[in-house]
Structure 1
Amino acid sequence: MLASLSLILLCQLIGEAVVRGLGLPLPGPVLGLLLLLILLLARDRFALLARGPLRNDGVETASKGLLAHLSLLFVPAAVGVVQKLDLLASHGVAIILILAASVVVTLLVTVLTFRLVSRLLRQQDVP
């Protein structure tokens, strides 16, 4: 499990280094997760080509361990919020309004997308 956790953290480190080095407008951990996804897909493809059994350990076990304790990963975010309470106090109303508006826009876009896909599927079913 230690090697798998090291692989996850190494992918995150590589992603962070590439983003900072190239000045990409993307979070480093996101690029690291994409790298980890590519590595896992390549591992699965090579296992299928070699007709070997896929072992269900390694990164999967480490990730399940991380997910089991996911709430601990929110502690740094909560500390960051507490450190910026003065900003929340001065801009709290604007933040709440923007969050509410973004939720409404997200719901509207979701409903419109669902209706469009539903209409397209209904047209496809009718000969």
Structure 2
Amino acid sequence: MLNAITVLLVFQLAGEVLARGLGLPLPGPVLGMALLLLALILRGGPGPGLQNTANGLLGHLSLLFVPAGTGIMLHADRLASEWPALLAALVLSTLAALAVSALVLSALQRRKRSRP
């Protein structure tokens, strides 16, 4: 388990270094996750240790939201004053995500049908 957590943290660190070093407008952990995905694709998938550790982390994922929830509660007065803009952003981003997902699915289905 320790090796798998080390692998996850090394990829997160690599993402942070690349994002900050190259001045990319992308969070380091997201870039690290993309690098991990690329490494896993090249490797042929995760090993049993990494898979068990990832499943353990996913099983306790709700605990990782506690700090975010606490931060939201610390800024409740700001949320109360800016709720219309937040609501609009939430609704528009949800609709945009649904539209992009539908377009990608449609394109993939057309591509699948055109293959012999």
TM-score (norm 1): 0.72
Q: Which runs of 5+ in 2 are unaligned?
A: none
**Residue 100 in structure 1 maps to residue 91 in structure 2:** yes
In 1, Cα distance between equivalents of 2:12 and 2:106 = 38
In 1, Cα distance between equivalents of 2:100 and 2:46 = 40
Runs of 4 or more above 4 Å deviation: 108-118
Q: Which runs of 5+ in 1 are unaligned?
A: 45-53
In 2, Cα distance between equivalents of 1:109 and 1:43 = 30
Identity of aligned residues (%): 43
Which structure has the larger Rg over C-alpha atoms? 1
Matches within 5 A, 1:61-76: 61-76=52-67
1:29 — aligned with what? 29
TM-score (norm 2): 0.77
Describe the shift of the 1:91–1:40 C-alpha distance in structure 2 as closer, same or farther (beyond 3 A): same
In 2, Cα distance between equivalents of 1:117 and 1:57 = 31
Describe the shift of the 1:101–1:40 C-alpha distance in structure 2 as closer, same or farther (beyond 3 A): closer
Q: CA RMSD in A?
A: 2.8
2:20 — aligned with what? 20
**Residue 57 in structure 1 maps to residue 51 in structure 2:** no
In 2, Cα distance between equivalents of 1:88 and 1:39 = 40
In 1, Cα distance between equivalents of 2:70 and 2:104 = 37
